[in-house]
Structure 1
Amino acid sequence: IAKGSFYKFYESKEMAFFAVLESIHSELYGVADQALRRNGGLPTSERAAEAVLAVCRRLSDTGDMAFIEHDAKLLLQRLPEGVKKEHYHDDETHIRQLLEKYDLMPRRGASLAAATVRGLILTVSHKEQIGELYPQVLEALVYGACRELFE
C-alpha cells in the first residue's frame, strides 16, 4: 500500500507492529482457551498441559516466537506510555484470567503457574538445540510441570 494510505490506519510503524503483536497474543490465548474448553473432562493437570502444549505447538508452527522474543521488546520500548497502559497487559494477567475462567487452582499460586507457563513456552526458542526429541522433551516438561502445579 502507499505510504500515505498506511498512515490512515496506523500512526507509526510501531503501532502497526503493535497491532500484529496484539493479534498474536489474542490468537495464542484463544488457542489455550479452546484447548481448556475442549478438554474439560480431563484431570486438571492434563487439561492445563494440553493448553500449554497447544500454545507451544502454535508458536512452533507459525514462527511467531522469533517476533515475540526479538522484536516485541524493542517495539514496546518505542511505544508511547499511554498506548502501553491502555492496551498492553502482561502474560500473567491473561494466564490468571484463563485459570479463573476454568476454575483451575494451582496449588502453589497463580504467579508461579504463570511464570512456569512462560518458561515452558520459551522452550520453543530452543527447539533446534534440543533436536529431534523436542516434541517428547516438551511433553515431558509440560506434563511434569502441570502435575507439580495442579496435583
Structure 2
Amino acid sequence: MSADLGAIAGTIQLSVTPVFLLVATGGLLNVFTGRLARVIDRSRVLIELWSETQGHEHDRVVAELRVVDRRMDVINNSIAAAVGCGIVVCLLVALLFAQAFVGFNLGAAAAWVFALAMLLLLASLVLFLVEVRLATRTIHVPLELLELEEMGWRKRQGWR
C-alpha cells in the first residue's frame, strides 16, 4: 500500500508542471474569448453602419468588415489551438498516472504529448499575434484629427 502511495505522490509531483501549463492556457483562453467578444461587438456596429453609409464612408465600412471577419477567423483558430493544448495537457496528466498504475514505461509518449502541447500553445500565441496585428492595422486615427492636434500643440507652444 505504501508503495502505491509513493507512486501516486510521485505522479502528482510530476503532473504539477503540466497543470500549471493548463492553468496558463485557461488564462489565455479568457483573453482570447474577450477579444473575440469585442470583435463580434464591432462587427455588429459595422453591420448597422453598412446600410446607413454611402460613397467613401461605405467603402471604409466594407473594408473594415472584411478585416473584422478575418479577425474572427484568426482568433477562433487561436482559441481552437489553445483548447487543443488544454486537451493534450490533460492527456499528458492521464499518461503520467497510467504509467504509475500500469507499470509501462510511457516516458517517450509523455514527451511527445508534451511537445505537441507546446506546439499547440505556440500556434495559439502566433495566431493571437496575427489577430492583434490585424486589429492595429485597421485602427487609424483620421489624419485631420492628427493635424488639428498638432496645430493645437504648436499654438500651446507659441509656434505658428
The alignment's TM-score, normalised by the length of structure 1, stands at 0.32
Of structures 1 and 2, the larger Rg is shown by: 2
More helix by share: 2
